[in-house]
Structure formats: C-alpha cells, structure tokens
C-alpha cells in the first residue's frame, strides 16, 4: 500500500504542480476535472443524484472566480443553496437529504476551495504559493506517518481515525514547518515568525482536511470514496488536504504579504 501511495504521489505531484504553474487557464481546467471526478464519486456514493447537478454545484464558484475574483467565489458559494433548492423542487423523486448533502458538499467542500487555486493565479507569489499548497500536505503526511510509526503512542481522534496519533500529528507539523518556513522566508520574503506560522498552519489545515473526509467516510460506512488512484482511493481521498490548504495559502498570503504591502 505504501509503495502504491508513493508511486501515485510521484506521478501526481509534477502533473498537478505543472498544470497550476502553467497559468489560470490550465488551473481552471484542472480544477474542473477534479470537480467532475469528485461529483462522480459522490453521485455514485449517493444513488439518485445526477452527475450534471453535482458537477454544476462544484463548478459554479470556480467559473465565477474567473471574471469576479474573490467576489465570484463567494457568490458561487452563496448561490449554491438556492440553486440546490430549485433543483430539488424540480426533481421531487430526488428530494432527500442525500441529494442536498451532495450538492452542498460539491459547492462548499469541493468547488469553493478549488476556486482559491484560481485566485492564487492573480497573486505575485503564485508559483511559490502553489508549491506550498500542493507539496505542504504531502510533507505533512510524510512527517505524520513516520513520527506516528516510530513514536506514536496516544490516539489523536480514535473515534474518527484510529491509526492517527498525537505524536504523528506533531511530527507532521514539525516537518512541514521545517520545510515550508525557510521556503516562505526565502521566496515570499516573509519574516521568520510569519513564515513559521505559514508552515504550522498548512500542516494543521492539511490534517484537518484529512480528518474531515475521515468523518464523512465513517458516517457513510465507507473505506474510500472512489478507486481512481492506486493506494489512495478516489480523487477526494487524495485532494482532501488540498481542499483545506488552498484557501489557507491564499489567505495567509493576503494576511502577511498583500495587507502589509498595501499598508
């Protein structure tokens, strides 16, 4: 399993980073591909939810971010609820909690976070932020895995993810901080304290994204949400951390760089 995870990550890493570094059009294309695949996984999990409706809910924040930026992302997230309501009104046979959950998850959990990858394209440090948002979770996962394997004694959240330990979580934060802080200091021009905060926050959000999906899968009684990626499960099993670190990277840059420059 670990071999397959490493191989899949070795293939995905350059493809993902390369697409995001190509610019806004490639980023939008990648984000929409993830949306469609995520919609397929959730629609397959919850019978009776059309792929088109789930895909539209996730694509809306991304598409509106192109002409309207952050305002478009917010508008896409806010419009998700009334559009879901209209869809449920028009489809009486599909009017159930599962359908509503899928539409809201696609809008708020998938589409809105991925739209922040488009927003990052408009920032001066976009290339470095992409690396932090994408590679940061992998560094955190690696640190958590080895720290948990060699030092793990105390369960982190046993009712959600029995294998995760407090020691592993701390190891993930330490390793991410050690890698990301010097990177952010050197390439984003951050002072050491803000750079260290960026590293710690990226790891914390990465782990939170993983735990969020673990809770969802436990509620559904599933091991994985899909089988698209060997060793990882579905696209959501691989992108769960990115869905939290992409917005975190964007707002950390706005907080520590943009706001300081404008001041």
List pLDDT tens digits, range 26-74.
999 999 999 999 999 888 887 767 888 899 999 999 999 999 999 999 9
With beta carbons less than 8 A apart as the criterion, state whether 147 and 171 touch.
yes
Do 205 and 238 belong together in one domain?
Answer: yes
Do 67 and 129 belong together in one domain?
Answer: no
Report the C-alpha gap between 239 and 258 in whole angstroms. 27
| Boundaries of domain holding 41 | 24-120
Of the pLDDT bands very low, low, confident and very high (cuts 50, 70, 90), residue 254 is: very high
Helix or strand or coil: residue 233?
Answer: strand
Measured CA distances, 84 to 61, 108, 153 (Å):
14, 12, 44
Shortest CA distance to 250 belongs to which of 144, 112, 147, 145? 112
pLDDT > 70? residue 240: yes
Do 134 and 16 belong together in one domain?
Answer: yes
Domain boundary among 64, 87, 120: 120
Shortest CA distance to 240 belongs to which of 148, 170, 168, 160? 160
Lowest mean pLDDT segment, chosen from 59-68, 86-95, 219-228 = 219-228
- Tell me what pLDDT residue 9 has: 60
Domain boundary among 59, 88, 120: 120
Do 169 and 110 belong together in one domain?
Answer: no
Domain boundary among 90, 120, 150: 120
Q: What is the CA radius of gyration of the chain?
A: 18
Task: Identify the residue with better confidence: 237 or 57.
Answer: 57
Do 16 and 39 belong together in one domain?
Answer: no
Do 150 and 160 belong together in one domain?
Answer: yes
Do 109 and 1 belong together in one domain?
Answer: no
Task: Identify the residue with better confidence: 231 or 23.
Answer: 23
List pLDDT tens digits, range 195-215.
999 999 999 999 999 999 989
In this structure, the number of other CB atoms found within 10 A of the CB of residue 133 comes to 28
Do 243 and 148 belong together in one domain?
Answer: yes
Report the C-alpha gap between 150 and 52 in whole angstroms. 46
Do 43 and 11 belong together in one domain?
Answer: no
Report the C-alpha gap between 247 and 189 in whole angstroms. 20
Do 141 and 218 belong together in one domain?
Answer: yes
Do 128 and 97 belong together in one domain?
Answer: no
- The DSSP element (H or E) to which 156 belongs, if any, is strand 155-157
Do 18 and 136 belong together in one domain?
Answer: yes
Of the pLDDT bands very low, low, confident and very high (cuts 50, 70, 90), residue 80 is: confident
- Tell me what pLDDT residue 5 has: 53
**Domain total of the chain:** 2
């Amino acid at each position: 399993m670990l071999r397959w995870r490493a191989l899949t990550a070795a293939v995905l890493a350059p493809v993902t980073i390369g697409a995001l570094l190509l610019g806004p059009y490639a980023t939008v294309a990648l984000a929409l591909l993830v949306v469609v695949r995520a919609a397929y996984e959730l629609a397959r999990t919850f019978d009776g939810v059309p792929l088109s409706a789930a895909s539209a809910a996730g694509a809306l924040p991304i598409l509106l971010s192109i002409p309207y930026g952050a305002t478009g992302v917010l508008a896409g997230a806010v419009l998700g609820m009334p559009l879901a309501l209209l869809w449920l009104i028009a489809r009486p046979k599909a009017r159930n909690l599962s359908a509503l959950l899928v539409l809201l998850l696609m809008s708020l959990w998938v589409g809105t976070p991925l739209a922040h990858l488009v927003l990052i394209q408009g920032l001066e440090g976009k290339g470095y932020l992409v690396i932090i948002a994408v590679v940061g979770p992998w560094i955190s996962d690696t640190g958590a895995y080895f720290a948990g394997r060699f030092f793990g004694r105390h369960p982190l959240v046993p009712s959600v993810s029995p294998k995760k330990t407090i020691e592993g979580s701390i190891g993930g934060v330490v390793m991410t901080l050690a890698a990301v802080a010097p990177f952010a200091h050197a390439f984003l021009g951050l002072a050491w304290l803000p750079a260290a905060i960026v590293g710690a926050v990226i790891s914390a959000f990465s782990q939170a994204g993983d735990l969020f999906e673990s809770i969802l899968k436990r509620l559904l009684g599933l091991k994985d949400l899909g089988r698209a990626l060997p060793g990882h499960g579905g696209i959501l099993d691989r992108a769960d951390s990115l869905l939290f670190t992409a917005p975190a990277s964007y707002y950390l840059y706005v907080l520590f760089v943009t706001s300081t420059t404008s001041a």
